[in-house]
Amino acid sequence: MLKPEENDRLVRVGRGKPAGELFRRYWQPALLSSELPEREGPPLRVRLLGEDLIAFRDTEGRVGLMDAFCPHRRAPMFYARNEECGLRCIYHGWKFDVTGACVDMPSEPKGMRMMANVRISAYPTVERGGIVWAFLGPKPDMPDPPDYEWLRAPPTHRFVSKTFENCNYLQALEGGLDTAHSSFLHNNNIRNAKLLRTRDQAPQIDVKPTDYGYYYVSTRAAGEGHKYVRVYQYVMPFQQMRANYTAREGQGREQIPKLDGHLWVPIDDEHTFVFNWTCSYDDSAPLTEQFVQEWESTYGRGTDDLIPGTFKLKLGQHNDYLIDREVQRTQTFSGIRGINTQDMALQEGMGPIVDRSKEILGTSDKAIVTMRRLLLEATRAVERGERPKGADPATHRNIRPHDRVITSDSNWRETFGMELVAKW
């Protein structure tokens, strides 16, 4: 468990808060590139790390991310005109480019030096892997842009989606790093006792800290002299990477060797956007449209699962995720449709922010305990003026997760070999 003051240190993400200052040392996924589909298109409201911002794609295709309010009289920039490489406030016509510089001030007399001294708060952005990334921290501390393997994969072999979660980022991240719960919450066929995740419900967990966070190894007995080994990657501050052998156990689904993961990005203290990525690592196996749609639907975040025009699921707290007690009794462990929807039901159901001083932790929580310890130390490193772990993309550009069923006497390191090294 955490002390209340430690919990508070990790869950508060606003500027000036320990976790907030930590996250501002990393590039943040701010929005999907597809949310700004056209040059000089409508501005988009963005809330990130407790800050209200506006995003826009300018005439040259660059993405700007700036304060949601004009520095003149604090008029909302959401209503601004996106024109000629800048965003022009419709109140008095002040115009700002993607860097935040004021480039026109028509309501003031020409020749005044005032314009050179006026700026709107704006943040650097880069586009990688279908995501607009933003750096909200001090510019001297800005690392190189993100360079994960899945960002380098060809667009034909990569897919990213986004969902809203009504709780603090930390309890969502903890769910993603908890492998033991998949034997229960995600058991979608309680009559099949041979599924890898359910035949051994108490995996052995070993955590190995690294210079980017850690990797951890989950080992389960797989019967008949075999074991199922799964190597997860935790990249600070809030990304999980996993492989998906078990996804290939089902019948009738297109078989594509791939990796998956999530980034749980704080909107503010009590709300989170989840960026969900999947990446095929086989040159000859692109992600087909059919595969992507089936995959997203299986996880409960397909097109038909979302409230139109939003990233919010139709199943939620307001309708108890349409839990079906008869299905729960006879078919699935949870009675809730969609793997990620099952996660959200429990994570959101804990309340906006969990009181971790009331927890009773077990051996299956090793990865979670280690993650909390790393984040706490990272907040203190930032306070000391040091760069936190994982901020430098060089530390994690060549890592990948992996999983496989191997013989019980095999060494997973020797068996997996180069498959743990990024290809793209």
Q: Which helix (H) or strand (E) holds 6?
A: helix 4-11
* pLDDT confidence of residue 267: 98
Which amino acid would we find at residue 113? R
Domain finish residue from 134, 160, 176 = 134
Query: Of 111, 104, 112, which is closest to residue 87 (Cα–Cα)?
Result: 104
Torsion on CA atoms 158, 164, 170, 174, rounded to nearest 10: -60
Domain finish residue from 134, 161, 192 = 134
For residues 370 and 245, state if they share a domain: yes
Cα(234)–Cα(247) distance, integer angstroms: 20
For residues 181 and 231, state if they share a domain: yes
pLDDT band for 245, please (50, 70, 90 cuts): low
The 3-state DSSP class for residue 419 equals helix
In a domain, 22, yes or no: no
For residues 57 and 153, state if they share a domain: no
Dump pLDDT digits (tens) for 2-41: 999 999 999 999 999 999 999 999 999 999 999 999 999 9
Tell me the whole-structure pTM to 2 decimals: 0.95
For residues 119 and 173, state if they share a domain: no
For residues 124 and 250, state if they share a domain: no
The 3-state DSSP class for residue 234 equals strand
In a domain, 3, yes or no: no
Dump pLDDT digits (tens) for 349-377: 999 999 999 999 999 999 999 999 999 99
Which two tokens mark 361?
A: 């932790």
In a domain, 66, yes or no: yes
Burial (CB count <10 Å: 0-12, 13-18, 19+), residue 358: exposed
* pLDDT confidence of residue 11: 98
Compute the average pLDDT of residues 192-217.
89
* pLDDT confidence of residue 255: 66
Q: How many residues does the chain have?
A: 424
In a domain, 89, yes or no: yes
pLDDT band for 247, please (50, 70, 90 cuts): low
Domain finish residue from 102, 134, 166 = 134
* pLDDT confidence of residue 257: 82
Rounded alpha-carbon distances, angstroms, from residue 379 to 29, 252, 290? 20, 47, 43
What residues form DSSP beta bridges with 66?
54, 122
Cα(289)–Cα(272) distance, integer angstroms: 27
Compute the average pLDDT of residues 145-150.
97
User: Rounded to the nearest 5 degrees, what angle is found at the Cα of 235, between the Cα atoms of 185 and 133?
Assistant: 105
Domain limits for position 87:
28-134
What residues form DSSP beta bridges with 242?
260
* Average pLDDT of the residues of the chain: 94
Dump pLDDT digits (tens) for 249-289: 544 445 678 899 999 999 999 999 999 999 998 888 999 99
pLDDT band for 238, please (50, 70, 90 cuts): very high
* pLDDT confidence of residue 111: 81
Query: Of 343, 340, 262, which is closest to residue 296 (Cα–Cα)?
Result: 340
For residues 56 and 180, state if they share a domain: no
pLDDT band for 112, please (50, 70, 90 cuts): confident
Supply the CATH number for residue 76's domain.
2.102.10.10
pLDDT: which is higher, 226 or 250: 226
For residues 223 and 196, state if they share a domain: yes
* pLDDT confidence of residue 380: 98
For residues 232 and 284, state if they share a domain: yes
* pLDDT confidence of residue 88: 98
Dump pLDDT digits (tens) for 315-362: 999 999 999 999 999 999 999 999 999 999 999 999 999 999 999 999
pLDDT at 194 over 80: no
Q: How many domains does the chain have?
A: 2
pLDDT at 291 over 70: yes
Cα(190)–Cα(184) distance, integer angstroms: 9
| Residues above pLDDT 90, as percent of the chain | 86
ω into 257 cis (within 30 of 0): no
- Answer left, alpha or beta for residue 90, where phi above 0 means left and psi between -120 and 50 means alpha: alpha
Angle, helix 4-11 to helix 366-383, in steps of 10 degrees: 70
Which amino acid would we find at residue 121? S
Query: Of 234, 40, 37, which is closest to residue 127 (Cα–Cα)?
Result: 37
Compute the average pLDDT of residues 155-159.
96
pLDDT at 144 over 80: yes
Burial 144-179 (b: 16+ CB within 10 A, else e): eebbbbbbbbeeebbbbbbbbbbbbbbbbbbbbbbb
Q: Which helix (H) or strand (E) holds 228?
A: strand 226-235
For residues 295 and 375, state if they share a domain: yes
pLDDT at 246 over 70: no
Dump pLDDT digits (tens) for 387-423: 999 999 999 999 999 998 999 999 998 888 888 889 8
In a domain, 326, yes or no: yes
* pLDDT confidence of residue 420: 87
pLDDT band for 115, please (50, 70, 90 cuts): confident
Supply the CATH number for residue 193's domain.
3.90.380.10
Distance of CA 145 to the CA centre of its chain: 16
Q: What are the φ/ψ torsions at residue 147 (nearest 5 degrees)?
A: -145, 40
Q: What is the DSSP string of 58-69?
A: -TTSPEEEEESB
For residues 130 and 153, state if they share a domain: no
